[in-house]
Amino acid sequence: MVENFVRDFARLIASRPDEIVVERKNLGENFDEIIIYAHKDDAGKLIGKEGRMINALKTVIGGCKAKDGISYRVNVQALEEREG
């Protein structure tokens, strides 16, 4: 559920929404990491000026902890342009 929200949110911001991939990894009991893979040009947009965009996303996701009891870490990974 959370990763679907993050993917949809990222696709609204990105210039290349078709390249957005979101992955969720379990890091331990009640702790998951959500990784947003985006084109290198979109990675900056997702992080935002002084990290404001990603921090806002983290705040919204933090509210999910009250519902499902899982803490989340969110990271953005820039993808290099694909050749071919």
**Which residues contact residue 5 at a Cβ distance below 8 angstroms, ignoring those fewer than 6 apart?**
60, 61
pTM, to two decimals = 0.85
* Structure-token match 């921090």, residue found: 55
Domain ranges of the chain: 2-79
Pick the CATH number of 2-79 from 3.40.50.300, 3.20.20.10, 3.30.300.20, 3.40.190.10: 3.30.300.20
**Which residues contact residue 32 at a Cβ distance below 8 angstroms, ignoring those fewer than 6 apart?**
2, 24, 25, 26, 70, 71, 72, 73
pLDDT in tens, 21-69: 999 999 988 899 999 999 998 999 999 899 999 999 988 888 877 778 8
Give the containing element (helix H, strand E) for 22.
Answer: strand 21-28
Task: Give mean pLDDT, residues 8-28.
Answer: 93
